[in-house]
Amino acid sequence: MEELVPLLYGNITKGASTLGSAGIRVPGSAGETSEALETSRGVTIKHFACNNQEDHRTGVDARVSEQALREIYLHGFEIAVRTAAPAALMTAYNRINGVQAANNRELCAVVARDEWGCDGLIMSDWNTTVPADGSKPWRCAAAGNDVIMPGNPHDDADIRAALADVRLTETDVRACAGRLMALTRRLTAGR
């Protein structure tokens, strides 16, 4: 039975990811070509990653091994990113091994962008920077979140202060802005 569990789980994960990828590419209104769809719509997949509960989700710290993280929690996202190229990924509220998902450069920049080739937007979940124990705005940008949703009054000052004392680089900020502009151009092309 122990040998069967990873096999079953792997097939379920692959199946769910394949269905998710197909859903990302679902056509819109009748008569719309796939080319028109590709340039006029975008799908966001969420909550990236280890978001296993709704109750007290901003305070959860998912403690997970690298192997479990890769094989269980990230595998579905990987398949969806590689096969369907979603317009955006939304990070989760929770921490993963002590680091807020939205502040996790390894997760956002290294895994999603460098390893999987995600060229879409990465954004924080809504108001992730509001709670006292929430994500730090400048760390969101440094991790590769291009947009902090919805954008809170203190976020701007936090990012500017981090730029001023070089915790955050201009290169990081320009990369975030560049991805936002690229997505805007893609979604408004031909209008």
Contact predicate 140/107, CB 8 Å? no
What is the gyration radius of the CA atoms in the chain, in angstroms? 18
Token pair listed for 131: 């709670």
The Cα 152–Cα 17 span in angstroms is 33
Q: Phi and psi of 141, rounded to 5°?
A: -65, -45
Q: Does 61 participate in catalysis according to the annotation? A: no
- Catalytic residue (choose from 125, 146, 155, 158): 125
The Cα 25–Cα 42 span in angstroms is 9
Residues catalogued as catalytic? 125
